[in-house]
Structure 1
C-alpha cells in the first residue's frame, strides 16, 4: 500500500498509544514491529507498507505526518522537461524522541550519532540538542524529530535500545541528480518544511501529492553547470552564474549558480551558496546594458541606424570624465561600430541626444527596477534611480550600465525582448506562456539584433562565434562597488549575453563571472563559456544551422 502524507493541520490533538496499550511501545515490542515492517517490504518486493510505531502525535507546534485511512500522503515529484526526476519522496522511517523520557541525553547522543551521523551528517552535539529540546513552557518536550532515514538505518537505531527514542513511518525527500539545479529546486527539511526554490514556490501543490513539471532540461542544465565550474577554475573566480531562456516566451531551460551543493546535504552548505543568486543578487551590468540605450534612442526616433558621431576617447559629463577603455584619436563611428567596439563615449553621446527623462522612461518600460514575475520567491527588483534622483553625471554612467543594478534574470529577459521582435517576456519554470506586451517595434528589434550580430562578427564578442550559426550578443566588464567605501574597487564582473541563431533567435544565454583573476574582460572570460553552452543547446534541440561555417576564433 502506498505511503501518503497527511495534509497540514494546526489543531491540537491528543496523544495516541498503540492499540491495546496504555503507554508508548517499549523497545522489545518496537523491534518486533519494525522487523515485521521490513519483512513485509521485502515480501512485497519493495512496495510500501505502513505500520504505526508508537502512535506519534502533533506536539509542540510540529507538523504531524501520521496515518490517514492507513496511508501516508506522499509529496509530489519535481520533474524536468524531459521527465527526469529531480526531486522525489521515498519511503523512510522517522527517528523521534520524547526528551523527558531520555535518561542521559549526552550519552544517548553519542550512541545515536554513531548510527545516524554517517547518513545525516549530524554530530553528537546536534543530536543532544534535539534530545534536550524544551517546549514554550521551559519543560522538556514531548516530541522531537532526530532524523528521517532509510528502514535499514532505522533498524540499527532500534538496536541501540535507547529509552525515549522510537520510530514512526514517514517519507524522505531525495534529489537523485545530486547537485543538479540545487538552488533552483530548493530543499525540504527534516520536518517537511520547504526552503526556497521550486519546493517552496509550489509547496501547496507538491504537498497535495501533485507532480510539478519544469521547463528546465536536465541535459542543458548539466552542461551549463559544468561550463561554469570549468570557467571558475580556469580564472580562479569567486563564483559564476548562468541562464538559458527560450527567446520567444522566456521559458527557463537552465539556470545555475556555481559553486553549488548536493541538496541531500543542504545543511552543510553556507547560506550564500543556498541562495539562487541569479534572481537575488543584482549587480551593475556594465556594457551589456548599452544595447538598451541604443534601442531606446532608435525607438524614440532621435537617431537612425546610419547615424554617426565624432567619438573622442573621453567626454566630460557634469563633474565626471567618461573614458573609453582604450585611448584613441577622435573618429567617426556609427551606431553599429559604437556597440561593436563597446565605446563608452559613443554610447553616452547617443544618450545625450535622447535625454535623461526619456531614457529613464525606457528603462522602466524594459522592466528594469521591477521583478520579472518569475514563479519563484525571493526575486530582487534591482536598483534603478528614479529620474528625479539623477545627478548631473547620471546621463554619463547609467547608459553604460553603471549607477544602476539588475539581476542576471532581468538582463536575460531584456535580451529575449531584443531578440524576439520587441515583446517582453516573463521568465517562468512551469506551463506555457504566449508573447508578452510589445515594448519596442519589430523594426527597432531587427536593427539592434543586426548590430549585436556585428559585435560577434567583428567586435569584442568574436570568441562567442559558433560554426554554422549566426550569433548576436554583447560583452560586459563592470567594476564592483566596494561595500565599505561605496566607491569602485579593484574587483570586476565579466559577462556575456547573447542569442542564436541571430537570423531567427531561439535561445538566450547569459554568463556572469564574479571576480575573475588573470583577465577581467567579458570577451575573454565569459564569451567562450557562452559559446560552449549555446553550441550545446542548439545541437541538443536540433536547431538547424543558419549559415555556412565561420572560422572559429581562439584566444
Structure 2
C-alpha cells in the first residue's frame, strides 16, 4: 500500500473527526446542499403573508409570521423547515460517494451565514475604476485525497496557467502539500480563478479538488498607478491606498483619488520613454496642483502589473517617490535665493563677481562648466546654475539663515502625506555642519529629500509662499498652510526661474504658448559601499506653469542615465511632454505668444 493510500485510508476517520470538532466549536453552522446546475439560491425579501377568517366576525385578516397571534403558526413552520433541511441533508449524504467526508469538508470551508460585505472600489478623480472586487472561485485541494498529483496538476495547468502564471510543477507541489507532521495535508489553496475557468475545472471531476466561491481583487488598468494604489490579494494587503484605507474599503466604502488617469498615463509613458532613451535604472515623476497640494499624477518607472503583484521585485513594488530620498543637487538652489531675498540681503538687481571656482573650508568647489570670471545677477546665477554664485549668496544669508529657510520650506521633515512609508529625508542641524557645509548644502549636497518632499517644498516656493500638505484622496484636502515667504518674494523667484527656462539651462522645458519656470538638477549618487560620491548620477527637472499664476508643479527624476547626465537633456524633455499635456487637458489658457523652437544649450 502506498504512502498516499495510507494517508487516505488510515487517517480518514481522524480527519473527519477533526472537521466535526471544528464545526462543534462554531456558534452556528449550515449543512451545504448542492443545488441543481444553473440554479442560484434566492433570498426572500420578506416572510410570506398568511390569511385567516375570524370565526366571530367573519372578516378576513392578513398577517405575517412573527406577528401577534401567529407564534404557533411560526413554530410549526419553523419545525417543518428544520425537518426539511435534515431530510435533504440526509439524502445528500446518502447519494454522494464518500458523502460524510465531502459534507464535512464543505461545512468546514463554507462561510457562516450572514451578509458578506464586498470590498469597496478605488476610483480616480475622473471616475475610472482603478481597483474593484469581482466574483471568483478558489481552487482548494485536500492532498490526502488526490490520487495522482502529477496528472491532476497537468490537467489544472492546461486550464489556469495562462490566468495565474503557475506551472504544472508549482501546482503539483500544492496538490502534494504535507502537514506539519509530514503527512498529506487536508487543506491546500491552489489558486483563485474566474468563474469560466472554475466551470472547466469542475467538469474534470478530479478527486480531492474543490471549488470555493470567493471574490478577487482586480485592477482593470494593470500597470496604471500601481505603486499608489497598492495591492490586495491572497497574500494580504501591501502598500498604497489599499493598505492606508484598508478598514474603510473592508467596510464596503469606495475611496476616490485625486489622480487623473489621463495625466497619470502621460506621466508613466514619458518616464518609460526617458528610461529607455537614456538606458537609465529607473525614473520617478510627480504632478501636483499648486494651489492645494493635490496629486494629479505620481508614477514610478518601471511600474508593475498589479494583477501580477507577486512577479514584481521589491524595488518595483515600492513607491520610490515617497520612500527613497536622494540628494537633489541644483534643484535645491532656489530656496537659498528665496531666503536671501526675503531677508533683504539680496535684491534682483544686485551683481556678483563669479569665478568658476571657490574655496570653501578645505575644498575647492567648481562650476560644472569652466568659464572666465563674470559679473552676474541672481537671475543669471540661477539660469546658469552656477555653484560659485549660489555659494556667494548663501554666505550672505549665513549658515543659520540657510538652515532656517530650508527647514521652513519642509526640507528634512515628512510632508504629512497620508500614505504609509514616507521617508522624511535629512537636513543636518547647524551643529553638525562642517567647514564645507555652507558650500555643499545650498547646492543640494549633504542633505536628502524624497521626490514628493521636494515637489511639496517647491510648490510653496512658487504658489505665493504658503506650504501645502500633499494628498491623494479627496477626503484629505487641507488647503494652504503657514506662510514661508511673502508673495513678493515668491513672485521674484518665479521670474528668475522663468529666466532659467527662457535663457538658461532649462530651455528644453519650454512649452509653446505658455510661460514656464523651472530648475535643472544633476547630482552625484553616494556609493553605499564607500560612502563617497561615485560615478552615477540623478538627472532631474522641476518646474511649473503658467509663471504668473501657477496651476501645476511637476518633477521628473531619472536615476543613473547612461547617455547623458544633465537634467536639461535627460529630464526637461519629459517635463515638457507631461506639463504640456496637463495644461491642455485641463484647458488652462495660454499666456504668451508662440515663439520659435527651443534649442539645447549643453
TM-score, normalised with respect to structure 2: 0.81
Question: What are the equivalent positions in structure 2 for 1:57-456 lying under 5 Å apart?
Answer: 66=111, 68-69=113-114, 71-103=115-147, 105-133=149-177, 141-190=185-234, 193-431=236-474, 432-456=477-501
Distance change >3 Å, CA 38–CA 128, structure 1 → 2: farther
Point out the more displaced range, 243-252 or 329-338: 329-338
Distance (Å, rounded) in 2 between the aligned partners of 1:20 and 1:513: 57
Q: How many residues align?
A: 517
| SS of residue paired to 2:467 | coil
Distance change >3 Å, CA 449–CA 314, structure 1 → 2: same
**C-alpha displacement of 1:395:** 1.1
Distance (Å, rounded) in 2 between the aligned partners of 1:20 and 1:451: 74
1:548 counterpart = 2:596: no
Q: Residue 5 of structure 1 corresponds to which residue in structure 2?
A: none
Distance change >3 Å, CA 352–CA 198, structure 1 → 2: same
Out of 490, 495, 504, which is 2:540 matched to? 495
Q: Kindly indicate whether the alpha-carbon contact (under 8 Å) linking 1:503 and 1:546 is maintained by their aligned counterparts in 2.
A: no
Distance change >3 Å, CA 139–CA 492, structure 1 → 2: same
Q: Residue 38 of structure 2 corresponds to which residue in structure 1?
A: 36
Q: Residue 31 of structure 2 corresponds to which residue in structure 1?
A: 19
Out of 463, 468, 477, which is 2:508 matched to? 463
Distance change >3 Å, CA 331–CA 201, structure 1 → 2: same
**C-alpha displacement of 1:20:** 6.9
Give CA deviations for 1:30-51 in whole Å, capped at 9, x if unaligned: xx76x436899xxxxxxxxxxx
Distance (Å, rounded) in 2 between the aligned partners of 1:17 and 1:97: 22
Point out the more displaced range, 141-150 or 178-187: 141-150
Distance change >3 Å, CA 159–CA 39, structure 1 → 2: farther
Q: Kindly indicate whether the alpha-carbon contact (under 8 Å) linking 2:32 and 2:107 is maintained by their aligned counterparts in 1.
A: no
**C-alpha displacement of 1:178:** 1.8
Distance change >3 Å, CA 54–CA 169, structure 1 → 2: farther
Q: Residue 65 of structure 2 corresponds to which residue in structure 1?
A: none
Q: Residue 578 of structure 2 corresponds to which residue in structure 1?
A: 533
**C-alpha displacement of 1:18:** 6.2
Point out the more displaced range, 144-153 or 96-105: 96-105
Give CA deviations for 1:322-343 in whole Å, capped at 9, x if unaligned: 1001111222212111101100
Q: Kindly indicate whether the alpha-carbon contact (under 8 Å) linking 1:99 and 1:140 is maintained by their aligned counterparts in 2.
A: yes
**C-alpha displacement of 1:16:** 8.5
**C-alpha displacement of 1:533:** 0.5
Give CA deviations for 1:416-444 in whole Å, capped at 9, x if unaligned: 11121111111111123321221222122
Distance (Å, rounded) in 2 between the aligned partners of 1:55 and 1:83: 45
| SS of residue paired to 2:468 | coil
**C-alpha displacement of 1:133:** 4.9
Point out the more displaced range, 139-148 or 12-21: 12-21
Q: Kindly indicate whether the alpha-carbon contact (under 8 Å) linking 1:15 and 1:55 is maintained by their aligned counterparts in 2.
A: no
**C-alpha displacement of 1:117:** 1.7
Distance (Å, rounded) in 2 between the aligned partners of 1:58 and 1:231: 55
Distance (Å, rounded) in 2 between the aligned partners of 1:174 and 1:55: 32
Q: Kindly indicate whether the alpha-carbon contact (under 8 Å) linking 1:147 and 1:190 is maintained by their aligned counterparts in 2.
A: no
Q: Kindly indicate whether the alpha-carbon contact (under 8 Å) linking 1:16 and 1:55 is maintained by their aligned counterparts in 2.
A: no
Q: Kindly indicate whether the alpha-carbon contact (under 8 Å) linking 1:449 and 1:472 is maintained by their aligned counterparts in 2.
A: yes
Q: Kindly indicate whether the alpha-carbon contact (under 8 Å) linking 2:469 and 2:479 is maintained by their aligned counterparts in 1.
A: no
Give CA deviations for 1:109-130 in whole Å, capped at 9, x if unaligned: 4443332222111223433444
**C-alpha displacement of 1:189:** 1.2
Q: Which runs of 5+ in 1 are unaligned?
A: 1-10, 22-28, 41-52
TM-score, normalised with respect to structure 1: 0.87
**C-alpha displacement of 1:374:** 1.2
Distance (Å, rounded) in 1 between the aligned partners of 2:572 and 2:437: 29
Answer with 1 or 2: which has the greater Rg: 2
Distance change >3 Å, CA 54–CA 218, structure 1 → 2: farther
**C-alpha displacement of 1:198:** 1.0
**C-alpha displacement of 1:67:** 5.3
Q: Kindly indicate whether the alpha-carbon contact (under 8 Å) linking 1:220 and 1:537 is maintained by their aligned counterparts in 2.
A: yes
Distance (Å, rounded) in 2 between the aligned partners of 1:505 and 1:55: 66
Distance (Å, rounded) in 1 between the aligned partners of 2:436 and 2:129: 52
Distance (Å, rounded) in 2 between the aligned partners of 1:65 and 1:479: 58
Q: Residue 24 of structure 1 corresponds to which residue in structure 2?
A: none
Point out the more displaced range, 378-387 or 401-410: 378-387
Q: Kindly indicate whether the alpha-carbon contact (under 8 Å) linking 2:216 and 2:233 is maintained by their aligned counterparts in 1.
A: no
Give CA deviations for 1:213-256 in whole Å, capped at 9, x if unaligned: 10000000011111111111211211111110000111000011
**C-alpha displacement of 1:143:** 3.4
Distance (Å, rounded) in 2 between the aligned partners of 1:275 and 1:232: 18
Distance (Å, rounded) in 2 between the aligned partners of 1:324 and 1:58: 75
**C-alpha displacement of 1:448:** 0.9
Distance (Å, rounded) in 2 between the aligned partners of 1:186 and 1:123: 26
